[in-house]
Amino acid sequence: RLERLIRFLILFAFVEAVIGIALYAIPDELAMRALSALRVVGYPAGPGVLRYIRDDPNLPQRATATSVDPNVLGSLLNLNLTLAISQLFARRPVIRRRYLLPMIGGMLLCLGLSFSRGSMVGLGAAMMMVASLRYRKLWWVLLAGVAIFAVLPQTQVYVAHFIAGLRGEDLATQMRFGEYKDALTLIRRYPILGVGFAGSPDIDTYIGVSNLYLLIAQEMGLIGLSSFLLVMGLLFVRFWRTRGLVHHDERLEPLWWGLHAAVVGALVGGIFDHFLFNLDFHHSATLFWLIVGLATAATEIALSTGQNRPDEPVR
């Protein structure tokens, strides 16, 4: 069942990536009409469905697929790419490698077209965790990928956009710094329980910041943020204690590593984005907690099979 769920997640993410690439490639007018046709199910309509860097049509377009926001698409691909790449090292991957490799390539391309820097950093952190703790050969893939990305002429606009963000030079990053300052002001006024989900009670402050942790503190206070960090801490304490048991099952091991690495990618990406705790994008929050639940389930399977039936394959 765990394998089936992971397979479905990867397949659906690939379909979303294909949609994102197709909408990016076709003329803007046709893409706008196609997305606006989804208004019958509550999707936004009009020119605003097409997104650009800094919302400037003179700058490169950002892929959104059917996720409304390019950073929402990026967070979806961040999580599922981690699951898919971990399967490359499985003896029996949930999807055959000859299909999995082009699927990963398509999802990576769509992630690049989204220009979601936070999701790219999150994916990089997740892959470095897996490469450092388990699949050392992944380091060569990561280094080769970074080198190719850095020197190709076609990727220089992405490199420049990424470096500008790291230096705090572009408008989007500078606006984030302003959001952080305003968020800390609100948290200082209502530190214990926050202000809830309806809105700020003060006219000079607002709810909304491009940071998962500050957003939780705004809405649920330091108690809510501490509770969230406690849950994540317990997840990774159990991860660390269980890591030696998963070697007993070749089918479980890549699933287990991929799920926990996906959580790492989400938590690192959450430093730069808020969609995993934004009620306007509840599907992102649902996906995140689904991954957390599956990681917990994988640990429970490892404990039961590793201690009691180490040679029996996972069902």
Place of tokens 């989804």: 38
DSSP structural state of residue 52: E
C-alpha–C-alpha distance, residues 11 and 5, integer Å: 10
Between 312 and 78, name the one with better pLDDT: 78
DSSP structural state of residue 311: T
Q: At residue 43, does pLDDT exceed 70?
A: yes
pLDDT of residue 228: 95
Q: What is the pLDDT of residues 136-165, one digit of tens each?
A: 888 888 888 888 877 777 677 777 777 777
- Average pLDDT over the chain reads 87
pTM of the model: 0.88
- 267, 232 Cβ separation under 8 angstroms: yes
CA distances from 15 to 25, 80, 96, 107 (A): 15, 12, 17, 9
pLDDT of residue 310: 46
pLDDT-wise least confident of 91-105, 109-123, 135-149: 135-149
pLDDT band per the 50, 70, 90 thresholds, residue 313: very low
Six token digits for residue 14: 């690939």
CA distances from 159 to 77, 120, 147 (A): 19, 12, 11
